[in-house]
Each structure stands twice: as structure tokens, then as C-alpha cells.
Chains A and B, each alone.
Chain A
Amino acid sequence: QVQLQESGPGLLRPSETLSLTCDVSGASMRLYYLTWFRQSPGRELQWIGYIYFSGYNKYNASLKSRVSMSVDSSQTKFSLRLTSLTVADTAVYYCARRRLGESKFDPWGRGTLVTV
């Protein structure tokens, strides 16, 4: 069964750049999008953006100037980069899978806490 696992630094300083990785195992990501979310302590889920296995991506307009996503050639390692961090970027970051043509997210990674 497919599993997603986020990894990255847990503590960063303001103005630094966040780099997270989502490792996918157990299934191919062909025909799937990898989506990044974050959730602040207030519990609201925020969509950051998504990337297709081919590299096509779309970002949340509110973060677009600071976000970039990529996928490696094996299509098992998806990366998120968020620049110019502020305290407001403190959150648990999740990756989740969505199939082409569908709108549900399943499964999700366990999440990784990032504190700025």
C-alpha cells in the first residue's frame, strides 16, 4: 500500500528557506498529484500547492511568490521549498496524494512540524 513520509528540518529562523521532502513508497505516482498542506496550531488546513508526476504544478496564490515544488526523476521524492520564512509559517506540513480526475486526498503523510 502506498505510504507518504515527510521529512525536513524542524526549526528554522525568520528569513530562512524551508525545504521539505515527501517520500512516496508502495505505489507509482503516475497519474497522481502530490499535494502539500499545512496546519497551524489553530487547526485550519491550508492548501499550499500541488505537483503532478510530470512536473506540472499549481500554487496557492497567497504563497505563490515564495513557494516552489519539484519531483525527482524516480517520481518517488517530492520536494517543497518555501522562502522568506516568518513566524506565521510555523505549522505541521503534510503531503497527500490525489488521483488525476478525482478530488479526494488519500493517503496523507504523518506530517512534520516546522517551527520558525
Chain B
Amino acid sequence: FVLSQPPSVSVAPGRTARITCGGSDIENVHWYRQGPGQAPLLVLYDDIHRPSGIPERFSGSNSGNAATLTIATVEAGDEADYYCQVWDPKNDHPVFGGGTKLTVL
């Protein structure tokens, strides 16, 4: 399993950010936000579900070959690294994408 993420995405405040996670036949993709000096925080799970406390501005989709994390009405506080993750059932361990740094212009 290899998950490919763009190293960086830049977006102006108030616009929509889209971060992609490419792979082959990926399912149940999870997304984590990691602010500077912080631990990863789950922001989406199983492609589309938001944990309690995550704003509705965060949404997700998955075509099977690419999952997308969409952040609507981006705020300065959304600036962070975002990682996608799936489970490798053959080897029974998690796989992470390389991370995408979201910059709010």
C-alpha cells in the first residue's frame, strides 16, 4: 500500500481547500490534522464521517483510487499538516500518506 498526497496546498481564507490521497483500491480512509507541535487529531473517518467536535466544514469523499478531504470556508486556524491513513489488511498494519501542509494565504 502506498498513499500519495501533495506536499502542500495553499488556499485563501474563506475559500475551499481540497487535499487528495491517492492509492489503489483504497477504502475506509481516515484523515488527521496535525498542528505545529501537536499530536495528530482525527478529523474524518471511514471516508466521510466526522468525529464529535469536528466542524461541518470538514467533509470527505472516496472514488476508490483517490480520497479527498475538503475543508470549506478555510480559516487561518486550519493551517496544519493533514495525513490520510488506511489499513493494509494483507500485512495487518496502518499505512499513512506522506502528509500535506495546508497553508492559508
Interface set of A (CB-CB < 8 Å, partner B)? 35, 43-45, 47, 50, 58, 60, 94, 96, 103-111
Residue of A nearest to B39 (CB): A108
**Are A104 and B39 in contact, with the CB atoms below 8 A?**
no
Residue of A nearest to B28 (CB): A103
Residue of A nearest to B51 (CB): A106
Q: How far is the CA of A99 from the CA of B28 in the complex (A)?
A: 14
Does B78 belong to the interface (CB within 8 Å)? no
Which residues of A have CB within 8 Å of B28? 103
Q: How far is the CA of A47 from the CA of B93 in the complex (A)?
A: 8
**Are B39 and A109 in contact, with the CB atoms below 8 A?**
yes
Which residues of B have CB within 8 Å of A96? 40
- Residue from A43, A94, A104, A109 in contact with B45 in the complex, judged by beta carbons closer than 8 Å: A104
Does B68 belong to the interface (CB within 8 Å)? no
Which parts of B71-100 form the interface with A (CB within 8 Å)? 81, 83, 85-87, 92-94, 96, 98-99
Q: How far is the CA of A50 from the CA of B93 in the complex (A)?
A: 9
**Are A103 and B40 in contact, with the CB atoms below 8 A?**
no
**Are A105 and B92 in contact, with the CB atoms below 8 A?**
no
